[in-house]
Structure formats: C-alpha cells, structure tokens
C-alpha cells in the first residue's frame, strides 16, 4: 500500500501543474490576426492576383488553425472598417487600436513578398497591445509558389509565434 505522504505529494504536484495551465479560453492570452499584406515583385508575366490571393488566404487559414490548435492563445478576429484589415491598409497604430477594441493582448501583423517564381519572403510582427511595443519579429524566407509552400510557411510562422519568448513583453506590463 502507498504511503499517505506519497499520495499527498502526488495530489499537490498535480494541483500545482493544473493551476499553472489555463483551463479555458478565457485564461489564455488573446491574439488578433491582421490580414497579411501581399506584394508580387517577381515580374512574372500575366495576372495571377486571384491565385496569389487564394494562397494568402490559405496561409492565413493555416496560421489561424495552427495557433488555435496549439492552445497557447485564444485567436480572435481583428475588426476594422476597411475591406482589408492589415498592414496594407492600416498603420501599426491603427492595427493595435483595432486589437485593443477586441480585447486582444497581442496583434500579429505580417506581409509576404513574392520575389521570383521560386522565392518568397515575409515578415511577422507580434505586438504587445497593452504595452504598444514589439513582442516578437521574424523574417521569413521560403521556396516555391504553390499551396504546399504557403502551407509550410504558415506552419513555420505559427511555430515561431507559439515558441516566442513573451516574458520580456510581460515584464514590461508589471
């Protein structure tokens, strides 16, 4: 038979772990996702705007799904009065203000640039809304102009956001 002290230690350990892990979405930091800005500087012939917009939409969908599935953040929509709600049409200050209106702790801004038929680049900026300062910034580089390339870039982006050390941003709020 197990000793009572071992049982008490196990229960106490479980309680400590359980209390450190958020139990529902209300306990998670809220992240608002802005629309990603897309710029094609490849010089490719023909109009591929519709195809590229579908890839940006795929990128945003995969990013949102990955961030939601991970459970580190509660993902919320960024709302603004413009057709596009991202750095292509909003200043960073306007995006932060929009995130503040939906009670987000962070807003994720980004852009993707098609440099050539084979190379894409991008940028992610996670802004701490209450502190109004950068919590994380990453430059991306990826190969390919296909759905799979955009999907992989979105998965990589989500991992970067999830694994970001946000303690420095949190320390500023103390």
Three-state secondary structure along the chain?
A: CCCHHHHHHHHHHHHHHHHHCCCCHHHCCEEEECECEEEECCCCCCCCHHHHHHHHHHHHHHHHHHHHHHCCCEEEECCCCCCCCECCCCCHHHHHHHHHHCCCCEEEEEEEEECCCCEEEEEEEEEECCCCEEEEEEEEEEECCCHHHHHHHHHHHHHHHHHCCCHHHHHHCC
What homologous superfamily does CATH list for 30-164? TolB, N-terminal domain (3.40.50.10070)
pTM reported for the whole predicted model: 0.81
Q: What is the pLDDT along the chain (174 residues), one digit of tens a residue?
A: 555 554 344 334 444 434 444 445 568 999 999 999 999 999 999 999 999 999 999 999 999 999 999 999 999 999 988 888 998 999 999 999 999 999 999 999 999 999 998 999 999 999 999 999 999 999 999 999 999 999 999 999 999 999 999 986 555 544
């Amino acid at each position: 038979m197990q000793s009572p002290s071992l049982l008490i230690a196990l229960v106490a350990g479980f309680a400590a772990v359980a209390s450190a892990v958020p139990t529902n979405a209300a306990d998670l930091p809220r992240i608002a996702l802005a629309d990603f800005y897309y710029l094609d500087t490849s010089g490719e012939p023909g109009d591929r705007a519709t195809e590229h917009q579908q890839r940006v939409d795929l990128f945003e969908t995969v990013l949102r799904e990955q961030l939601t599935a991970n459970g580190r953040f509660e993902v919320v929509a960024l709302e603004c009065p413009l057709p596009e709600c991202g750095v292509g049409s909003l200043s960073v200050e306007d995006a932060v203000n929009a995130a503040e209106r939906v009670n987000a702790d962070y807003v994720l801004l980004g852009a993707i640039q098609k440099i050539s038929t084979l190379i894409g680049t991008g940028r992610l900026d996670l802004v701490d809304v209450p502190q109004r300062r950068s919590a994380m910034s990453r430059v991306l580089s990826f190969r390919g102009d296909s759905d799979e390339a955009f999907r992989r870039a979105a998965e990589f982006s989500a991992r970067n956001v999830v694994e970001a050390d946000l303690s420095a941003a949190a320390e500023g709020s103390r």
